[in-house]
């Protein structure tokens, strides 16, 4: 049977097609007469109904489609009656074939037959009242409608058997997936609960091995036969595969679903069953729901089998809050951007800033980025968060430039996930264009691991960004496993030396020698080095003596809001405006 999405697409398309035919018939009948106006009105109404159906039809219940199909019959009959020429009337009555198609595609049994009879009666009646149409035409129309209905009905039956498990007669995995796809958006929209469960026969392989597959098959049939009549209304039971059954329970919250599953287990006391139950969480996809059911099933098995486990672990509430903050007003929700100065080691002058996401949570207070950045990565919110940081930072620095005349270098962290989004370069371009901040003063920071993963999409995005005039920095350099020999092939302009490397500088002479070598290497490759995590004057002095030009760290400045960045500029050791590092 067709899903709401398919019914919307088919009904919408057929209404548009039929409406266009009626419009063409109306325009053919010019000059304007009342009949022509009527035809044009029917045509326009049909096309508009079709477009509305294409847009919103998937939200409608099956009952509304009965009305839409019946309305189609009425509109076609009216158009056929209004047509001036017998050939036009016949052609328009021929659109009843659409009704025959819909009836047996969407509905089963009496509902389908009544719709078909209505179409045949309507088409026959309007053609019979016209003396200029031969009597054989309505007969032919009826035959064509019946033929279409029979063929469509047979095809639908065959297609639905593809969704059925032949052994138990239950839905198979495909049928179950179709049911989830149908019910999940409906429950999400109406806010009614939806629960899912996986029920697995314990040690079924041993039953097969000991008593043979025929006994195993009998057991599967027995389970299905006992369960089917015990299910609550609206429940969908499927054989998910092998000895695993899946159950979908609309209108049931997790604890209710758990009780239903326990009843099912009790209905077959001779069979050991492990079950995982879970309730749909807001914003969850079908695969996330079933993954949690699977996790609960695994827990039931791990706890010793022959039991049910309810997985009530919903998504992290902070993720839900982060999603809401990013979708609404991120600033009001406390999402901020702070800036850590990048200085020239020679004089301590601030020449750039790294933009860093901060979350001053309204109730929990300031949250560590280690708490919410990985969460954003896991939940796919990192793109929206990164876009917010980028836009804010560009606007803040453009504003700072307008007020002080100081053009700082802006570095922004970007994850592999963001880079692999094909729209990312356009998003960056829009942020720059929208704020007037120049590409030449912007650096995209990516971690070394990105290149280890050798993601071609990410590397291609970096190439595109560099073509747009931005620079690229390899962040946390020294923590990954990048071969030094590969450094010359990376699309990068800066190396940001990780703080763990910097912190060991003053305690290990080997590190200092290694540092000298890295500087020589990066110099030879045209990469500018920025030392991160400089926390003590000794580290700064050593880096300076080794010839390192740029650094950042608590020794120079902590990350601060934009309002305090100006003070960093004022407090710079050298009153001469600093020149930011540029791409070579
Ligand atoms: N009789 C029969 N056996 C099937 C059918 N489909 C799959 N199987 C068998 O079902 C068994 C499922 O194996 P497992 O998933 O390891 O199940 P189990 O032995 O119950 O293991 P646990 O679930 O961990 O207790 C396999 O031996 C399959 O060959 C079927 O249609 N009929």
- As a three-state string, the secondary structure of 12-56 is HHHHHHHHHHHHHHHHHCCCCCHHHHHHHHHHHHHHHHHHHHHHH
- The 8-class DSSP code of residue 164 comes to B
Domain boundaries, the chain: 4-161, 173-315, 318-569
Least confidently predicted of 324-333, 337-346, 459-468, 477-486: 477-486
Quick: pLDDT tens for 514-573.
888 888 888 888 889 999 999 999 999 999 998 899 999 999 999 999 999 998 887 544
Task: Give the residue whose CA is nearest to atom 21 of ligand 1.
Answer: 203
Q: Confirm whether 173-315 and 318-569 share one CATH topology.
A: no
Contacts for 584 with CB less than 8 Å, ≥ 6 apart: 493, 526, 528
Q: Which ligand 1 atom sits nearest the alpha carbon of residue 272?
A: 25
- The pLDDT > 70 percentage for the chain reads 92
Q: Are 548 and 518 in contact (CB under 8 A)?
A: no
Q: How far is the CA of 331 from the centre of ligand 1 (A)?
A: 54
- Domain 318-569: assigned CATH number: 3.20.20.450
Atom of ligand 1 nearest to the CA of 213: 1
Comparing 26 with 439, the larger pLDDT belongs to 439
Do the beta carbons of residue 406 and residue 438 sit within 8 Å? no
Asked if 416 contacts 450 with a C-beta cutoff of 8 angstroms, the reply is: yes
Give 385's contacts (C-beta < 8 A, 6+ positions apart).
Answer: 322, 326, 335, 357, 373, 376
CA of 167 from ligand 1 middle (Å) equals 14
Lowest-pLDDT choice from 122-136, 259-273, 332-346, 470-484: 470-484
Selected residue with higher pLDDT from 19 and 381: 19
Paired tokens of 225: 């036969």
In this predicted model, what pLDDT tens digit does every residue of 33-86 receive, in sequence order? 888 999 999 999 999 999 999 988 877 777 889 999 999 999 999 999 999 889
Give me the residue label for tokens 């070394």: 448
pLDDT at 574 over 50: no
Instruction: Provide the pLDDT confidence category of residue 287 given band limits of 50, 70 and 90.
Output: confident
String of DSSP letters for 116-129: HHHHHHHHHHHHHT
Ligand 1: lining residues by beta carbon, under 6 Å: 167, 200-206, 208, 213, 216-217, 220, 242-243, 301
CB neighbour burial string for 406-421, b if at least 16 within 10 angstroms, e if fewer:
bbbbbbbbbbbbbbbb
The pick from 201, 243, 275 for probing ligand 1's pocket by mutation, whose C-beta has the most ligand atoms within 8 angstroms, reads: 243
User: For residue range 75-118, what is the model confidence (pLDDT) as tens digits?
Assistant: 999 999 999 889 999 999 999 999 999 999 988 889 999 999 99
pLDDT for position 477? 82
Tell me the pLDDT tens digit for each residue of 290-340: 989 999 999 999 999 999 999 977 667 788 788 888 888 999 999 999 999
Q: What pLDDT is stored for residue 500 in this prediction? A: 83
Residue 576 reports pLDDT greater than 50: no
- Give the predicted TM-score (pTM) of the model: 0.50
Please give the distance, rounded to the nearest whole angstrom, from the Cα atom of residue 398 to the centre of ligand 1: 65
Please choose, from the candidates 298, 430, 326, the residue with its C-alpha nearest in 3D space to the C-alpha of residue 388. Answer: 326
What is the distance between the alpha carbons of residues 541 and 129, in angstroms, rounded to a whole number? 103
Q: Which residue has the tokens 């032949």?
A: 166
pLDDT tens readout for residues 395-423? 999 999 999 999 999 999 998 878 888 88
The number of the ligand 1 atom at minimal distance from the alpha carbon of 217 is 1
Confidence of residue 440 (pLDDT cuts 50, 70, 90): very high
Q: By alpha-carbon position, which residue is closest to atom 29 of ligand 1?
A: 205
Ligand 1 pocket: which of 206, 208, 276 to mutate (most atoms <8 Å of CB)?
208
Nearest residue (CA) to ligand 1, atom 9: 242
What's the gap in Å between 161 CA and the centre of ligand 1? 23
What is the predicted pLDDT for the residue at 578?
43
pLDDT at 109: 85
Q: What per-residue confidence (pLDDT) applies to 522?
A: 84
Confidence of residue 7 (pLDDT cuts 50, 70, 90): confident
What's the token pair of residue 288? 């996330």
Pick the CATH number of 173-315 from 3.30.360.10, 3.40.800.10, 3.30.70.270, 3.40.50.620: 3.30.70.270
Q: Is the pLDDT of residue 181 over 80?
A: yes
Give the mean model confidence (pLDDT) for residues 176-183.
Answer: 90
Q: Tell me, what's the pLDDT at 579?
A: 45
Q: Of ligand 1's atoms, which has the minimum distance to the CA of residue 207? A: 19
- In the chain, how long is the greatest CA-to-CA distance? 108
Q: pLDDT, tens digit, for every residue of 182-214?
A: 888 888 766 678 999 999 999 999 999 999 999
Ligand 1 atom with the smallest distance to the CA of 202 is: 25
Nearest ligand 1 atom to the CA of 167 is 31
Q: What are phi and psi of 342, to 5 degrees?
A: -110, 125
For Cα atoms 282, 286, 292, give the angle at the middle one, nearest 5 degrees: 80
Ligand 1 binding pocket mutation candidate from 242, 244, 303 (most atoms within 8 A of CB): 242
Distance 250 CA to ligand 1 centre (A): 28
205 CA closest ligand 1 atom index: 19
> Highest mean pLDDT range out of 264-278, 367-381, 569-583?
264-278
């Amino acid at each position: 049977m067709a899903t709401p999405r398919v019914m919307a697409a088919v009904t919408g398309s057929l209404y548009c097609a039929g409406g266009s035919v009626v419009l063409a018939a109306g325009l053919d009948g010019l000059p304007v007469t009342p009949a022509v106006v009527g035809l044009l009105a029917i045509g326009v109404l049909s096309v508009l109904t079709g477009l509305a159906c294409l847009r919103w039809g998937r939200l409608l219940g099956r009952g509304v489609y009965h009305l839409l199909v019946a309305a189609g019959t009425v509109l076609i009959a009216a158009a056929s009656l209004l047509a001036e020429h017998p050939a036009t009337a016949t052609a328009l009555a021929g659109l009843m074939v659409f009704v025959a198609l819909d009836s047996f595609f969407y509905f089963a049994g009496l509902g389908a037959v009544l719709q078909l009879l209505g179409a045949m009666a309507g088409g026959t009646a309007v053609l019979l009242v016209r003396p200029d149409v031969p009597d054989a035409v309505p007969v032919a129309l009826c035959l064509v409608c019946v033929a279409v209905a029979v063929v469509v009905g047979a095809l639908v039956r065959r297609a639905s058997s593809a969704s059925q498990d032949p052994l138990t007669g239950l839905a198979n995995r495909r049928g179950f997936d179709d049911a989830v796809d149908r019910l999940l958006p409906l429950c999400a929209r109406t806010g009614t609960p939806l629960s899912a469960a996986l029920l697995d026969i314990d040690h079924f392989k041993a039953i097969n091995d000991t008593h043979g597959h025929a006994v195993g098959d009998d057991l599967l049939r027995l389970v299905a036969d006992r369960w089917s009549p015990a299910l609550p209304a609206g429940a969908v039971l499927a054989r998910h595969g092998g000895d695993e059954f899946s159950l979908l329970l609309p209108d049931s919250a997790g604890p209710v679903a758990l009780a239903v599953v326990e009843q099912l287990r009790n209905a077959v006391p001779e069979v050991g069953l492990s079950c995982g139950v879970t309730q749909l969480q807001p914003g969850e996809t079908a695969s996330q729901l079933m993954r949690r059911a699977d996790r609960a099933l695994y827990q039931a098995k791990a706890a010793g089998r022959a039991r049910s486990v309810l997985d009530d672990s919903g998504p992290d509430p902070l993720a839900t809050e982060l999603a809401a903050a990013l979708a609404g007003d991120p600033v009001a929700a406390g999402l901020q951007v702070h800036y850590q100065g990048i200085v020239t080691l020679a004089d301590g002058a601030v020449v750039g800033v790294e933009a860093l996401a901060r979350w001053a949570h309204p109730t929990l207070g300031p949250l560590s980025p280690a708490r919410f950045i990985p969460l954003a990565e896991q939940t796919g919110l990192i793109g929206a968060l990164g876009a917010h940081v980028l836009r804010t930072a560009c606007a803040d620095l453009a504003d700072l430039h307008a007020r002080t005349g100081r053009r700082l270098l802006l570095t922004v962290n970007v994850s592999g996930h963001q880079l692999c989004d094909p729209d990312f370069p356009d998003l960056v371009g829009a942020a720059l264009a929208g704020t007037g901040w120049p590409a030449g003063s912007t650096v995209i920071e990516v971690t070394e691991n990105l290149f280890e993963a050798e993601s071609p999409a990410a590397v291609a995005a970096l190439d595109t960004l560099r073509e747009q005039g931005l620079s690229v920095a390899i962040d946390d350099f020294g923590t990954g496993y990048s071969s030094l020999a590969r450094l010359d092939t990376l699309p990068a302009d800066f190396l940001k030396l990780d703080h763990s490397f910097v912190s060991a500088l003053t305690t290990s002479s080997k590190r200092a020698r290694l540092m000298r070598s890295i500087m020589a290497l990066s110099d030879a490759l045209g990469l500018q080095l920025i030392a991160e995590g400089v926390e003590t004057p000794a580290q700064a002095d050593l880096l300076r003596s080794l010839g390192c030009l740029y650094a950042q760290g608590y020794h120079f400045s902590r990350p601060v809001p934009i309002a305090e960045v100006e003070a960093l500029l004022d407090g710079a050791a050298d009153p001469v405006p600093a020149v930011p590092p540029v791409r070579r």
